[in-house]
């Protein structure tokens, strides 16, 4: 048995962020990390680009080497080690590694176990050649399969961000891409105009889109797989399933911890759980939604990094650190398109009973006379009662996605659309028109009445 001042269960973004921040604050405390997989501190969002070979060495995705954590930062790293039980009263946990079981005790605990990819209950889903993409090992398994098997095609189940990014990866690799989605469109979290533009881009790149599809079975056919749906049978050497994620909290279900309906651990702005000296962060935890003020589940890398930092600082005694919440800002690249979203669109607002107005503006990325100028679509969502900006979506090229950060700042600051319409944004012809696309979108909401 070993005792540590701080233990982190989980060694990716949130867990290693917590351990690193605690070490920066106090060089003398003992810190241990227990990670179920073989890797710690890696950029999971970079895996599609490793699969496409844009990132040629997977080690480039590892932010800090395991040995550096151990030798330079004096953090005990235990990989391929699973925490099977936690006794919150005794402040102890049981770990299993190589069929060996040990018990360790702690003063402060950070739970950063992340989330796992969900697999829908489809007959044949466990067949060889069916993958998910959540961990670095998942990414390496997919990459190795492509290199060793030289497949001619792939089926992607699910039309969310992972499948959309992987579409580009496999197009670059010369594979035929078949994307199967149960909804009427891909990118179901986006507004219809954005969805339509994404689908046009994918079709233009040769992707076979199969929407409104119900899958009944996956059959093995030699070295290939048959995906049986009500829209037909589709065949490929391998399949990647991307249908959502669930928090890795099952081993804690009988504990006194409080949970969100999603299964995520409920925490406050200090990453504190309902149990003293126990913190949680990342994809296994909730975050405050800054628009509704409610606890929400947003499994995102940006949130994980921020919560992990706060959890580690709090555990090390820095009680002033906090993370107020998130609005779900995200961006992705789909072939030649850049797509981004922040806050609520009309569908999101409707689910929360918020009345809104929205509008789509098409503008230019730079001054119109600049040869590199490209069209950008900006859609803003405005509350009907107080005119505050509560969301936005952007699609285009020429660094279009980065402009979502302006809208994210406006939502977070509680700006009205009138505030945003006259924001003092920067201007130079190589970077932006004199009226920035986001500012121009806000201008469209102003009602001008002659007095």
Catalytic machinery residues: 45
Whether 396 and 365 have beta carbons less than 8 Å apart is answered as yes
Task: Give the up-direction half-sphere exposure of residue 374: CA atoms within 13 A in the CB hemisphere.
Answer: 13
Asked if 209 contacts 151 with a C-beta cutoff of 8 angstroms, the reply is: no
In which residue are the tokens 């670059």 written?
A: 172
365 within 8 A of 375, measured Cβ to Cβ: yes
Please tell me the distance from the alpha carbon of residue 63 to that of residue 255, in angstroms, as a whole number.
33
- Rounded-to-integer distance, Cα 83 and Cα 284, Å: 14
Residue showing tokens 């994307």 = 179
**Which phi and psi (to 5°) does residue 13 adopt?**
-55, -55
Region of 328 (left: φ > 0; alpha: ψ -120 to 50; beta: rest) is left
> How far is residue 313's CA from residue 66's CA, in Å, rounded to a whole number?
21
Say whether 131 sits in a helix, a strand or coil.
strand
Tokens of 180: 């199967």
Please name every residue paired with 78 in a beta bridge, in sequence order, or none if there are none. Answer: 34
Residues 6 or more apart whose CB falls under 8 angstroms from that of 175 comprise 146, 151, 152, 153, 154
- In sequence order, the 6+-apart residues with CB closer than 8 A to the CB of 370 are 429, 430
Give the separation between CA 74 and CA 47, rounded to whole angstroms: 28
Using CA atoms, how far residue 118 sits from 202, 240, 310, 386, in Å, is 25, 12, 28, 39
């Amino acid at each position: 048995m070993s005792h540590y001042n701080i233990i982190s269960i989980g060694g990716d973004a949130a867990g290693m962020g917590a351990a690193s921040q605690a070490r920066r604050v106090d060089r003398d405390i003992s810190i241990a990390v227990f990670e179920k997989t073989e890797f710690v501190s890696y950029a999971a969002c970079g895996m599609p680009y490793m699969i496409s070979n844009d990132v040629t060495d997977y080690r480039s995705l590892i932010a800090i080497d395991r040995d550096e954590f151990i030798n330079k930062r004096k953090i005990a790293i235990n990989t391929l080690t699973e925490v099977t039980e936690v006794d919150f009263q005794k402040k102890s946990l049981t770990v299993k590694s190589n069929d060996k079981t040990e018990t360790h005790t702690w003063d402060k605990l950070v739970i950063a176990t992340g989330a796992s990819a969900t697999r829908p209950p489809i007959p044949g889903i466990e067949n060889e050649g069916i993958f998910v993409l959540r961990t670095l090992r998942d990414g390496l398994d997919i990459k190795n399969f492509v290199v060793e098997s030289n497949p001619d095609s792939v089926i992607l189940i699910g039309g969310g961000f992972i499948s959309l990014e992987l579409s580009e990866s496999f197009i670059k690799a010369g594979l035929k891409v078949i994307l199967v989605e149960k909804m009427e469109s891909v990118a179901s979290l986006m507004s219809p105009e954005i969805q339509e533009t994404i689908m046009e881009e994918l079709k233009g790149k040769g992707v076979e889109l199969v929407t409104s599809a119900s899958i009944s079975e996956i059959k093995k056919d030699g070295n290939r797989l048959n995906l049986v749906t009500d829209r037909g049978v589709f065949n490929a050497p391998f399949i990647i399933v991307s249908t959502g994620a669930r928090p890795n909290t099952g081993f804690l279900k009988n504990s006194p911890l409080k949970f969100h309906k999603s299964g995520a651990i409920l925490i406050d702005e200090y990453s504190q759980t309902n149990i003293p000296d126990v913190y949680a962060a990342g994809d296994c935890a909730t975050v405050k939604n800054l628009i509704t003020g409610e606890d929400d589940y947003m499994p995102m890398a940006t949130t994980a990094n921020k919560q992990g930092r706060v959890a580690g600082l709090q555990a090390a005694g820095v009680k002033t650190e906090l993370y107020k919440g998130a609005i779900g800002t995200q961006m992705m690249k789909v072939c030649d398109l850049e797509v981004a979203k922040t806050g609520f669109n009309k569908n999101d607002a409707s689910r929360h009973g918020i009345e809104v107005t929205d509008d789509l503006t098409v503008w230019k990325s730079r001054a119109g006379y600049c040869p590199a100028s490209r069209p950008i679509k900006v859609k803003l969502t405005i509350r009907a009662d107080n005119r505050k900006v509560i969301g936005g979506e952007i699609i285009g090229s020429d660094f279009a996605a980065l402009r979502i950060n302006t809208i994210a700042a406006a939502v977070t600051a509680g700006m009205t659309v009138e505030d945003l319409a006259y924001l003092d944004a920067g201007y130079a012809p190589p970077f932006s028109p004199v009226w920035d696309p986001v500012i121009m979108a806000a201008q469209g909401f102003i009602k001008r009445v002659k007095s």
